[in-house]
A and B are shown apart, each in its own frame.
Chain A
């Protein structure tokens, strides 16, 4: 996974609440068997009409806004667990999503792909959006080390929370699987004590195999 340290960028405002993962990437585009190329269909039905022409009123089609940071309304990423949503956002070129609330599964999926979900207060989100709408060249600084998001050139800043383990993973580009693979002995020891595995006879088979 790519390391994440600090991003300074303009931002794309999408102040809609409860954006679900079906909007981020509709199910009919989930048929690929690789992780690549989902960005083309990011926000597909908000971005294109049924003739596949870009809808002028959608922010991704507005040449005034671009950047590596997506700023969205409360409860972003709710609904389906599809990691394709995180892949689509990252593949499009975003590195950070700022919102005042994230759905759990989306947050986990984003972190597992080096896409940083930054949860800020409702009030701070409103201020950030106000700045972006007043000046589309507004730069936001997202610093993972200090866990702060700042409107560049101002003193307007807010701290954000992140699980310290996940922070270490992002800064170093580690992933969970490397960590878990190293725990094999502990996992096998656990299996010998598992009530479920003993009830259904799965641990015995494993002992025979070992």
Chain B
């Protein structure tokens, strides 16, 4: 019978259902709750109003990332509202008994960077956070997704969440990736095919030989952007690459417990014959360096393609939004982006700020120098990434190439802290969103991979990295 064949997602979901409500959602147990300063204060206030505490404080982990400056972190935060919000997190964590890796702590960093690097994120878990990029943790074969603040309060109060089971989708990427094509290009390619709302209501499993060949950090980049096509989350079945990554990390099971864990994790895969509501397959050979031209992550093209025209749109109703988007970006339909001058390059965010990203960029820019017009900023995802980069001498290489290596945080991804892109300027960004004003009011964001960003910084104009790699 097909019905006893389960998908990876179903196995993990079913193992976490505490009870089900008739005609309603499941009550899902949450193994780990990650919190940060922006989406938690109202939840703590809600608990206080109810006169209750955090049910399982040891299952909650906190860090400060969205509001933190990426310069002079040893000094108090200059911006009063940011400082107040970060201080409020410190106060709430102390009051409710929650472990906090705040500013100055050697484990501080972007919440979706520190969970995996500390070994907190493990296969088969449920993880939530008041942040839509929580899907990042799905790279480990984990059900991980973003929630709102009322739900943050729910999980704090009960370690459970009311959730209706989403539909399932599998996306297979088969074959080998060409030189200069990164996992960021895979996910931008997928989103450009599905569009921004194309996976809404689904939980996605990424599979296929191209996905299996990726490192854990590259897999995280893919799962990270699942939300950008509307998916509730995305996950990848764990394998030896996963176990090797986890082994020995601070919070990972050790010794016999680790062996017991691996034996369990090996059961976490989609059974042969299990069915998905939707299944799609793409050829890795068709994926090239990608870039976005519009104001949502679905508006992506191969870097050598021209910007589409209204005639290319699938639906007439999208015309006004498409034209609004191009007007904001200052682009014309049918134009090429290649050789367009760029003054800002941002390498960082929960999508691409891990040590492999920094290594890749440093390796590429070694012995080169950024173009004089470019302001190139590279922001490690955590204190541990920063420390590792310095230990490997990457800081020196980046500095010699004219890149500014900053201190860890969400930085210029979201226009919340001091790091912003000025009005009207274009920025090649390795982050996840190119919405209007995302990097600051009037800023124009083009999403791309760390290699495309690095190549553009060197030439000062939008560059197909393959030309430099093959030169």
Q: Which residues of A contact B (CB under 8 A)?
A: 15-18, 20, 22-23, 26-28, 30-35, 45, 50, 73-75, 78-84, 86, 101, 103-105, 108-109, 112-113, 122, 126, 163-166, 175-177, 179-181, 183-184, 186-187, 190-191, 194-197, 199-202, 205-206
On whether the beta carbons of B257 and A22 are closer than 8 Å, the reply is no
B29 near A122: Cβ-Cβ < 8 Å: no
Given contacts A27-B414, A176-B162, A177-B46, 12 further A-B contacts (CB under 8 A): A22-B414, A31-B85, A50-B441, A82-B38, A104-B201, A105-B146, A105-B148, A165-B23, A165-B25, A165-B162, A180-B154, A202-B58
- In whole Å, how far is A33's beta carbon from the nearest beta carbon of chain B? 4
Contacts of A202 in B (CB 8 A): 56, 58-59
How far, in angstroms, from A177 to B157 measured CA to CA in the complex?
7
Assembly CA distance A137 to B320 (angstroms): 25
Q: Which of A15, A79, A163 has the most CB of B within 10 A?
A: A79
Cβ contact within 8 Å between B197 and A187: no
A-B contact pairs, 18 of them (CB 8 A): A16-B320, A16-B321, A17-B317, A20-B435, A22-B437, A26-B415, A27-B416, A31-B38, A31-B67, A112-B148, A122-B317, A164-B23, A164-B24, A176-B162, A177-B154, A183-B158, A187-B159, A195-B15
> Judging by beta carbons under 8 Å apart, are B45 and A180 in contact?
no
A198 shortest CB reach to chain B, Å: 9
Q: Which chain B residue lies CB-closest to A33?
A: B41
Given contacts A75-B230, A180-B27, contact A31 B197 (CB under 8 A): no
By beta carbon, the residue of chain A nearest B155 is A180
List residues of chain A with CB within 8 A of the CB of B232: 104
Question: Do A181 and B148 touch (CB < 8 A)?
Answer: no
Cα–Cα distance between A174 and B139 once the two chains are bound (Å): 36
Instruction: Tell me whether B158 and A184 are in contact (CB under 8 A).
Output: yes
Cβ–Cβ < 8 Å partners of B227 in chain A: 79, 105
Contact status of A165 and B42, CB under 8 A, knowing A113-B150, A122-B317: no
Q: Are A199 and B257 in contact (CB under 8 A)?
A: yes
With a CB–CB cut-off of 8 A, which chain A residues contact B58?
A: 202, 205-206
Interface assignment of B164: CB less than 8 Å from any CB of chain A: yes
Which residues of the partner chain A approach B147 to less than 8 Å between Cβ atoms?
81, 105, 108
Task: Report which B residues bind A (CB closer than 8 A).
Answer: 15, 18-19, 21, 23-25, 27, 29, 31, 38-39, 41-42, 45-46, 50, 52, 55-56, 58-59, 66-67, 81-82, 84-85, 88, 122, 124-125, 130-132, 146-151, 153-154, 157-160, 162, 164, 166, 196-197, 200-201, 227, 230, 232, 251, 253, 257, 260-261, 264, 296, 298, 317-318, 320-321, 324, 414-416, 423, 433, 435-438, 441-442
Q: How far is the CA of A20 from the CA of B31 in the complex (A)?
A: 29
Bound state CA distance, A200 and B124, in angstroms? 12
Contacts of B130 in A (CB 8 A): 81, 83
Smallest CB-CB separation from B92: which chain A residue?
A33
Interface pair A206/B56, CB less than 8 Å apart: yes
Given A103-B200, A181-B157, A15:B320 Cβ within 8 A: yes
In the bound complex, residues from chain A placing their C-beta under 8 Å from that of B162 are: 165, 176, 179-180
Given contacts A81-B146, A180-B162, contact A196 B31 (CB under 8 A): yes
Contact B296 A194 (CB under 8 A): no
| Residue in A closest to B416 when the chains form the complex, CB atoms | A27
Q: Give the CA-CA distance A202 to B158 in the complex, in Å.
A: 15
